[in-house]
Structure 1
Amino acid sequence: MPICSAKGCRAAAVWVLAWNNPKIHTPERRKTWLACEDHREHLSKFLGVRGFLKDVVAFEEWEAPGDSGG
C-alpha cells in the first residue's frame, strides 16, 4: 500500500503530486510525492510556492511518464 510522503504520516496515499525542480531537472522529468487526503493541500502549497508543482492526479489514475499502462 502506498504511503503519504508527509513527514511522520503513515496514511494511505490517494494523490500523486508530480513535480520537478527546474534548476536541476530537465523540463520533462517528473518526481513524485504521494499524499493522503489530509496532506494534499499542504504538500501542493509547499511545491507550488517554489514553482515545482506540475500536476496533481488521483493515485489510481496516475501513469508515470513512460508507463505502458500494464
Structure 2
Amino acid sequence: MEICRARQCGAAATVLVRWRNPNLPWARAKDWPSCATHAPDFLDYVTARNWHAELVALEPASGEIDER
C-alpha cells in the first residue's frame, strides 16, 4: 500500500500524480503518491510551473479489500 507523501499525512494514496519537468530533457516522469485531499494541491503546484502532469488511479494491491 502506498502512503501519501504530503508532509505529515499518513493516509493511503489513492492516485499517483505523474509529472515531468520539460525544461530538463533527460528527466523522466516521476510519480507522487497522494491521497484525494492532497492530489489537487500537488497538481496545482506542478501545472503552475507549466510542467506536464496527470492523475493515475492506483489499483488496490492484491490482498487488499476495495471498500468503495
Identical pairs, percent: 33
TM-score (norm 2): 0.74
* 3-state secondary structure, aligned to 2:44: helix
| Residues 1-35 of structure 1, C-alpha deviations (whole Å, 9 max, x = no match) | 211111111110000111011222437x2111011
Q: Which residue of 2 aligns with 1:46?
A: 45
Aligned residues: 60
Which amino acid counterpart does residue 41 of structure 2 have in structure 1?
A: H
Is the radius of gyration larger for structure 1 or structure 2? 2
| Residues 26-64 of structure 1, C-alpha deviations (whole Å, 9 max, x = no match) | 37x211101101111111111110122421110119xxx
Question: What CA RMSD, in Å, does the superposition of the two structures yield over aligned residues?
Answer: 1.9
Q: Which residue of 1 aligns with 2:59?
A: 60
Gap runs ≥5 in structure 1: 62-70
TM-score (norm 1): 0.72
Gap runs ≥5 in structure 2: 61-68
